[in-house]
A and B are shown apart, each in its own frame.
Chain A
Amino acid sequence: MQKKRFKIFFGTIAVLFFVILCKLFYIQMIEGGKFSGISNNKRIRTVGIDTLRGTIYDRNGLVLAVDKHSFELTVMYKKLFNAYSCFNQNILPEVSEGRKQGKYHNLCSGCHIDKVMWVEKVAELLDIPYTDIFDKATKIVKKVENIKQAVERKNKRKIRIREETIPHSIASHIPWEKVAKFEVEMLNLPGIQIETNPVRWYPQGDMSSHVIGYVGKLGNGEIQNYNFKKRWFDNLKKSGESESEFFTQKAISMDALIGKSGIEKTYNSSLMGIPGERFEEVTLDTMRVDKLILERPSIPGNNIFLTIDSRIQGIAEKALGNKKGSVIVMDPWNGEVIAIASFPRYNLNTLNADYTALSKNPLKPFLNRPIQSVLPPGSTFKIVTAIAALEENKIDENTHFSCYGSLKVGNIRFRCLTKYGHGLLNVEEAMQYSCNVFFFETAKILGGKLLEKWAKNFGLGNTTDIDLAYEKKGNIPKSRSFSQTINLSIGQGAMLVTPIQMARMIATIANGGWHTKPHILRKISDYKGNTLASNKYELTEKIDISEKNMNIIQHSLRKVVTSGTARKVGLKELHVAGKTGTTQTARENENHAWFVGYAPFEKPKYCFVVVVEHTEGHGAEIAGPIVKKLLIQIGI
């Protein structure tokens, strides 16, 4: 029985193989002509369909960056090549001259006339001299020939490269009226097409340019490192289209625009759409499209909503004026950055033209100062010193130190602000008048280790992980000597922080000790408007600071404004609490002026940091008025 069953078993397999053989014979030998026709005489051409990059909105829905369509005139390579060869043989002027005068020209029998006629037509429609078109054609042909030669050299055989079969752009940014004219003439101009091309446009000009960032093509080095696949799977998970998995490699072409800085970079994968593809059957000699075989539509990128409020951002930028520095306004309760201004800025719309001038500018306009400029915090760091000393029980609210204008440690004399000293004062008064000596004495008891620990508690000297690219880290140095500790206690020396770190620090004071994470993303929604992700940050982690000590600090910060270093600025009526800071730089008469604070002090709504770098005046004189302007216009 088993022998019989083995025969049946093998028989089944053999029959199935025979069926396959028959089908193969049918496809290859009988229907073969049909299919080889498709792949030999007619070539299937893939044309990428551009997709739109997502739009960036501010928190009120005002558009900050959007892809705008621009019209582009494209011409088939074959036509360009004809024009180029005619132009090189110098027969063109005669031909066109002849046609203009209505004479039949014998010189180059009909065909040449037809081959370059499109140039005249296009030149007429575009209203530009036809030599421009020839120049363009020459440029394109030379470029393509170069690529072709390189490819052929590499493969050691004749190859038809993709660039030869696709249309090339010869004019862009064509205005509407001309496009309409072209549409009418299109039938007489085979091989010439108007295509739309997305261009990034920034309606707000130079407002919040650092936050938005700019886009550009991938550099040579980046192409190799760019993780094409990762991005693809991000989208795959959301849309669940497993079928598209095979087009991974094509998801980003070489000349796709990639975010290079700011939000455009951080959320590049969300903003980028998936380009579509169109498969067309073309006849090889005329390059005319015979049939559209398949079209995979493109999927536009996701839209991003920022926490930035354009109104307040505008106010902040105006208040900062043309002083080099930064202004940050943040919600202390959830870390939403409402305004983040930096000066000098650049205009995103004209960035390409301005690029060389900007990169040579000594003020470094490309630096996003709120997150990238590292500065010593100066007196504003005294808040941390005070909290550290209070919390570690080294001092309490009744501890008094006397200030005689300076303190001598070893051979070095550390000076206070006033020559004659502040006399006897406690921690509140010391903060109020920003007395250095009080904090020197405190640092003596506190020691460098604890100071460093508390600075780190507040996240100073460490990135805030804000969702902007290239954030700087700063530095909290390890104190090695006693005099170094004394310097650190008033935020001088090697201590370096970024303004956004200070914003996080003051937010922690304003909200009563909760850690916040500054962020700029509010939500991401897809092109249909469905929210994909929203960024809701909740206060979960608390720094262990007793309520009593927190009260002392908050009150002393208020007193700074009412009767302390910033009393003359007029912030009292605006319910501000804050701390001024003036940091000496290496150069004489150049300070960094700081003001960190929050308002209203009873129930903080905003916390803010203002820094003016390399200025002559003091914290209160320079940064104070900026805060005043800012808060008056925001309306507290």
Chain B
Amino acid sequence: MYSLVGLRNFDWLIFLVTCLLLTTGFLFVWSASSESFAFKQIIWIGVGVVVFSVLLIVDYYSIGKISYILYLIVLFCLCLVLLFGKTVYGAQRWLMVGPISIQPSEMMKIVLVLVVSRYFVDKKSLEGFSGVFFPLALTLLPMALIMKQPDLGTSLILLPVLFSIMFIAGVRTRYMITITVIALSTIPLFWYFVLKGYQKARIVSFLWPDTVNSWGAGYHRMQSLIAIGSGGSFGSGWGKGIQSQLNFLPQGHTDFIFSVITEEWGFYRSCALLCLYVLFLACSIGIAVNTRDPYGRLIVTGFTAMFAAQILINIAMTIGLAPITGLPLPFISYGGSSLVTSFIALSFIFNVRMRNKVALAKDGFYE
């Protein structure tokens, strides 16, 4: 199981795309903040690559076997965060283990994909509504915990992940529609009991931009739109964006990095960036389609959905199509835990691709 035999199946196309994305990220973290942040980004990429390589050696199937245990551990960590977590920017998201701070909500995204896929693979028949409840519970529990931190963005990412795995696993469309309807009907409850004042303000400012005058609620949206709009077709050039260089745009190197890219690179090159992302997603879906192992297929689907949701929500937020939630852009935004998480997910995708041919062969078959 620790064989490196699959290396011949290494997917160079996704690898190349990822490298391009990382380079773009490095350039614009530099542009939007400073050299020191860019340097730290390089260090995090290094850490990510190490994690990526180490995970590549291990067979994803053997990790899948212990996925329930991993799930419980991360769930426990999420509870710990609420009790002892470090508070940064008003949210309690980090768990301090010695000098390292861990963000269990990021780990949850990975583990949820593993555990829900495991469930659907083990399940013999998908007939009946009851089969859907368990994975739903598996998702809602961590969602509630993450929402409590509060981290609305990350907790909402779990939903598309669950749905796409369910969809590909073959759950009846009827059931999924029923769940969606029930979920939508609970929205008023959320509005009154769960959402915090600033979150409501963000949603209101998104739905009715003209009504909001209060400081802050509409500020991000407006600055981001000005930044993107002033980019035009070719942009103002790297390091010359007025909005980002003069610090009008808050969080330029993390959540709003796409605005910086569009301002400085213009429409055509940001289109190219979007195409890179589509290519990335298409390739990973290709891996899911081509693999013979049902478990591998489901986890690749889950991770693809995770990436897709993050990319889409982040960009939609910067261009004013979605309310503002703090989600990073995978492989581009500055930030250690999001980079490492992305690398872990990427590693699983590669893992499935590398082992799909030997899935049915015994260990040592090739030796």
Report which A residues bind B (CB closer than 8 A).
1-3, 5-6, 8-10, 13-14, 16-17, 19-21, 23-25, 27-29, 31-32, 34-36, 38-40, 43-44, 236, 240-247, 294-297
Contact = CB atoms under 8 A, between A and B. Distances in A.
Q: How extensive is the interface on chain B, given as a class?
A: 35 or more
A165 to B, nearest CB: 11
The interface centre, meaning the residue of B215, B225, B281, B297 with most chain A CB atoms within 10 A of its CB, is B215
A19 B226 contact: no
A28 B231 contact: yes
Interface string B206-245: 0000000001110110000111111111000000001100
Contacts of A16: 308, 312
A20 B229 contact: no
A24 B168 contact: no
A566 B175 CA distance: 96
Interface in B297-331: 297, 301, 305, 308, 312, 315-316, 319-321
A134 to B, nearest CB: 32
Nearest to A295: B215
B215 A17 contact: no
Contacts of B301: 9
B135 to A, nearest CB: 17
Contact of A1 (B170, B232, B297): B170
Contacts of A10: 281-282, 285
B285 A28 contact: no
Contacts of B242: 39-40, 43
A24 B274 CA distance: 11
A243 B250 contact: no
Contacts of A27: 225, 228-229, 319-320
8 contacts: A2-B170, A13-B281, A23-B319, A27-B319, A28-B266, A40-B242, A246-B251, A297-B215
Contacts of A39: 226-227, 230, 242-243
- From DSSP, what is the main secondary structure of chain A's interface residues? helix
A1 B288 CA distance: 14
A236 B289 CA distance: 50
B227 to A, nearest CB: 8
A24 B228 contact: yes
B271 A24 contact: yes
B351 interface: no
A13 B308 contact: yes
Contacts, number: 126
B168 A9 contact: yes
B61 interface: no
The interface centre, meaning the residue of A35, A38, A43, A44 with most chain B CB atoms within 10 A of its CB, is A35
Given A9-B285, A294-B219, A17 B274 contact: yes
Contact of A244 (B196, B216, B278): B216
Contact of A21 (B90, B168, B251, B271): B271
Contacts of B308: 13, 16
B270 interface: yes
A28 B170 contact: no
Contact of B230 (A24, A32, A241, A294): A32
A24 B229 contact: no
A609 to B, nearest CB: 43
Contact of A3 (B250, B270, B282, B289): B289
B116 to A, nearest CB: 16
Nearest to A297: B215
B154 to A, nearest CB: 16
B177 to A, nearest CB: 14
Interface string B29-52: 000000000000000000000000
A148 to B, nearest CB: 16
Contacts of A2: 168, 170, 297
Contact of A36 (B170, B230, B282): B230
A8 B163 CA distance: 13
B262 A38 contact: no
Given A2-B170, A23-B319, A35 B262 contact: no
Top 5 closest pairs, chain A to chain B, by CB:
A35-B229, A243-B216, A246-B250, A36-B230, A39-B230
A580 B228 CA distance: 78
Contacts of A20: 274, 312, 315-316, 319, 321
B262 to A, nearest CB: 7
Interface string B238-274: 0000110000101100000000001000110011001
A243 B217 contact: yes
B216 A21 contact: no
A348 B339 CA distance: 54
Interface string B173-204: 00000000000000000000000111001000
A13 to B, nearest CB: 5
B89 interface: yes
B277 interface: yes
Contacts of B319: 20, 23-24, 27
A465 B227 CA distance: 51
B231 A23 contact: no
A35 B274 contact: no
Given A9-B164, A241-B216, 11 more contacts: A2-B168, A3-B289, A13-B308, A13-B312, A17-B277, A20-B312, A29-B267, A44-B248, A243-B215, A243-B217, A294-B215
B167 interface: yes
A240 B316 CA distance: 27
B349 to A, nearest CB: 15
B198 A9 contact: no
B226 A35 contact: yes
A458 B50 CA distance: 59
Contacts of A17: 274, 277-278, 312
Nearest to A237: B90
Nearest to B319: A23
A161 to B, nearest CB: 11
Contacts of A43: 242
A156 B259 CA distance: 26
A24 B270 contact: yes
Interface in B46-84: none
The interface centre, meaning the residue of B231, B250, B316 with most chain A CB atoms within 10 A of its CB, is B231
A237 to B, nearest CB: 8
Given A25-B267, A36-B232, A243-B217, A6 B274 contact: no
Contacts of B270: 24, 28
A351 to B, nearest CB: 36
A36 B285 contact: no
B232 to A, nearest CB: 5
Given A39-B226, A40-B242, A245 B90 contact: yes
B276 to A, nearest CB: 11
Contacts of A245: 89-90
Nearest to B213: A294
Given A29-B233, A35-B225, A294-B219, A243 B198 contact: yes
A294 B225 CA distance: 15
A241 B243 CA distance: 24
A245 B91 CA distance: 11
Given A10-B285, A13-B308, A32-B232, A5 B271 contact: no
B321 A19 contact: yes
A131 to B, nearest CB: 37
Nearest to A242: B90
B251 to A, nearest CB: 6
A34 B321 contact: no
A13 B282 CA distance: 9
A5 B167 contact: yes
Nearest to A45: B246
Contacts of A36: 229-232
A28 B234 CA distance: 10
A6 B168 contact: yes
